A and B are shown apart, each in its own frame.
Chain A
Amino acid sequence: MPAIDIQGLKKAFNERPVLQGVSLTVNQGDIYGFLGPNGSGKTTTLRLLLGILSPDEGRIAVLGMNPSVSGAQLHRRVNALPESHGLYGWMPALAYLNFFGRLYGMEFSGGDYRARLRRVGLDPDDSRPVRTFSQGMKQRLGIARAMINDPEILFLDEPTNGLDPRGRREIHDLLLQLNREKGLTIIISTHILDDVERLCNRIGILEGGLVRYEGPLTDESQSAISYRFHLENGAAVQSPWNFPGIALLERQDSWITCLIKEGSPAAAIKTLVLGGLPIIEAVAVSGGVEDLYLYYTQGGKL
């Protein structure tokens, strides 16, 4: 049984459609990257999966349960870290963790709570209110809170937002450790593609209310390759783009990035030059999540 199975999910707010038939599957033990531009519906999808919003149409199964019907039961087995952390500024870290532990009905001793704080790199003897914590400390406390019920699935919305490189690395290591040791299924909604490349084994790319791509971090169905072309200064790129088999991913100053879907790079360069693009330099770009992201968030059409 997959950890999460969504079919044909639709949701609108004030008659403005946000999700228009999202379908995706997350397997047990996956670290699944959920990508998409701002407003693509990532947070709404996570909230639907957690049962704090109800879908207009479609079927959701999280650990075999319908979140809209079995919310309280589901919440004992999953947890989430929203982008906003959800911390009470006046509480010290230990009291905060204790409060949520009791809300989940966990029968922990004081020592258990302290150990959980230490595990995320926080000092349990720190009695300062949470509002005085740094962004990184708040993020760690948020993760400790999200792990308080030993969930089978952990949903993370932008988990490394605002962290410095060291803080991000430590959060990565913690999540990988939890996944490895406990088989925790993790769903990460993020814009930071480095997080995805370091952590995830599968991704889903959401755009325009639909999942445009779902699968491994490299699109095995494609033999596509990305190239960056340096154009003569002031050269204009024809609009609309009309080079079959070549997708324009990005334009920056006198550089353009293209995904060559069909044929060899040499043939593609010849097509572009004959089409009027004054290419003076071509650099192959390694394929990866960034290419997939750019490709599928621009309509996914070549």
Chain B
Amino acid sequence: MNLLRPLIGKEIQEDFRSARGAFFLVVAALVLSVFAVLLVSNTELSLLDNAQAVYLMAGLVIALAALVAVLRGSEGFAGERERETLETLLLTPATGHRLAWAKLLGILFSWLILFILAIPYLWAVGSAGQNLLPALWYLFITGTLIVLILGGPALAFSARMKSFKGVLSLGLTLLLLLGSPVVLGPSLRQSAVGRILDLANPLAGTLNTLDSVIIDSQGVALQLVRLTIMIAYSLAVLWFLKAVTRRIEP
């Protein structure tokens, strides 16, 4: 744990003290602001009921979280390698696993910042409704799992691949693959294949959970299957990351 602490500290500080972190916060705030303004002022969007507005905003936060996870995961080792700082880290007594855990916690920290940033926006569009608090809880839980499920593999690829762009392309492709079933039409989603895709796809699982909690006001019992699948994915990702980062080359 002693060696992990400075590594986590470095990852977190990098978010705030490097231009990258500040740029991301500004972009995220802009996107959330524009969307919030649309939800309250656009002729059609402003007609949505309170729960639907919160659901749309939560979906946007999940999309941003998925992007953050892929971007930061891809940048994890590949970025250090391109900036030629990885070798000095590998020279220390910190093992590949420790470096990977620290980077993963750094990604989770970025998600936490995004989540905190999103709270006032969610409050602005949903404070008049009744499901804001459960929406926040489930957004935090599913967002954390999505960040683990997408950030972990991106980090593992970046430990093995030399180029940041290569890892990023792979990560974004994975994200598109996971995102594509979400845009299937309602009839297709109701078919057997659609149901399996919905259940197996963590991104669909997240959106369905948020839909169920925020719009349909359903309880935790109905979320258990989807959450269990996502937790299983997260554990598999952690195992994969551990296996891949056993040895990292400069």
Question: CB within 8 Å of B: which residues of A?
Answer: 47, 50, 52-54, 71-73, 75-76, 79-80, 82, 84-91, 99-100, 102-105, 145
Min CB distance B98 to A, Å, is 9
CB atoms of A75 and B87 under 8 A apart: no
- CB neighbours (8 Å) of B10 from chain A are 88, 99
CB atoms of A145 and B88 under 8 A apart: yes
Q: How many chain B residues touch A (Cβ–Cβ < 8 Å)?
A: 26
Given known pairs A82-B87, A99-B10, the reply for A104 and B250 (CB within 8 Å) is no
CA A103 – CA B9 in complex, angstroms? 11
Given known pairs A76-B93, A103-B6, the reply for A53 and B249 (CB within 8 Å) is yes
Residue in B3, B6, B7, B87 whose beta carbon sits within 8 Å of that of A52 in the complex: B87
Given known pairs A87-B85, A99-B6, A103-B3, the reply for A52 and B92 (CB within 8 Å) is no
CB atoms of B87 and A86 under 8 A apart: yes
CB atoms of B94 and A52 under 8 A apart: no
Check if B49 is an interface residue, CB within 8 A of chain A: no
Interface residues of B in 1-36 (CB under 8 A from A): 2-3, 5-7, 9-10, 14, 17-18
Min CB distance B47 to A, Å, is 47
CB atoms of B84 and A84 under 8 A apart: yes
Check if B91 is an interface residue, CB within 8 A of chain A: yes
CB atoms of A90 and B84 under 8 A apart: no
Residue in B5, B88, B247 whose beta carbon sits within 8 Å of that of A82 in the complex: B88
Closest 8 CB pairs of A and B: A86-B88, A84-B84, A102-B6, A103-B92, A72-B93, A52-B90, A82-B87, A75-B93
- CB neighbours (8 Å) of B9 from chain A are 99
CB atoms of B250 and A52 under 8 A apart: yes
CA A179 – CA B160 in complex, angstroms? 37
Question: CB within 8 Å of A: which residues of B?
Answer: 2-3, 5-7, 9-10, 14, 17-18, 83-95, 247, 249-250
SS class, residues of chain A in contact with chain B:
loop
CB atoms of B18 and A90 under 8 A apart: yes
CA A149 – CA B83 in complex, angstroms? 23
CB atoms of A103 and B93 under 8 A apart: yes
CA A75 – CA B96 in complex, angstroms? 13
CA A103 – CA B94 in complex, angstroms? 7
CB atoms of A52 and B91 under 8 A apart: yes
CA A47 – CA B90 in complex, angstroms? 10
CB atoms of B92 and A104 under 8 A apart: yes
CA A102 – CA B2 in complex, angstroms? 8
- CB neighbours (8 Å) of A75 from chain B are 91-93
Supply 10 A–B pairs (Cβ within 8 Å), ascending by A.
Answer: A47-B87, A47-B250, A52-B91, A72-B94, A84-B84, A88-B10, A99-B6, A102-B3, A105-B2, A105-B93
Given known pairs A52-B249, A52-B250, the reply for A82 and B92 (CB within 8 Å) is no
Closest to A53 in B: B249
Beyond A75-B91, A89-B83: 15 further Cβ-contacts under 8 Å?
Answer: A47-B250, A52-B87, A53-B250, A72-B94, A82-B87, A82-B88, A85-B84, A86-B87, A90-B18, A91-B17, A102-B5, A103-B3, A103-B6, A103-B94, A105-B2
CA A85 – CA B91 in complex, angstroms? 12
- CB neighbours (8 Å) of A76 from chain B are 93
CA A82 – CA B250 in complex, angstroms? 11
Closest to A155 in B: B91
CB atoms of A82 and B6 under 8 A apart: no
CA A87 – CA B89 in complex, angstroms? 10
- CB neighbours (8 Å) of B86 from chain A are 86
Closest to A77 in B: B93
Closest to B18 in A: A90
Closest to B14 in A: A90
CA A53 – CA B250 in complex, angstroms? 8
CB atoms of A88 and B85 under 8 A apart: yes
CA A76 – CA B94 in complex, angstroms? 10
- CB neighbours (8 Å) of A72 from chain B are 93-95
- CB neighbours (8 Å) of B250 from chain A are 47, 52-53
CB atoms of A80 and B84 under 8 A apart: no
CB atoms of B91 and A80 under 8 A apart: yes
- CB neighbours (8 Å) of A50 from chain B are 91
A87, A99, A103 interface centre (most CB from chain B within 10 Å): A103
CB atoms of A103 and B84 under 8 A apart: no
Closest to B6 in A: A102
- CB neighbours (8 Å) of B7 from chain A are 103
- CB neighbours (8 Å) of A52 from chain B are 87, 90-91, 249-250
Min CB distance B88 to A, Å, is 3
CA A145 – CA B111 in complex, angstroms? 32
Given known pairs A47-B250, A52-B249, A53-B249, the reply for A86 and B84 (CB within 8 Å) is yes
- CB neighbours (8 Å) of A88 from chain B are 10, 14, 85
- CB neighbours (8 Å) of B85 from chain A are 86-88
CA A105 – CA B7 in complex, angstroms? 12
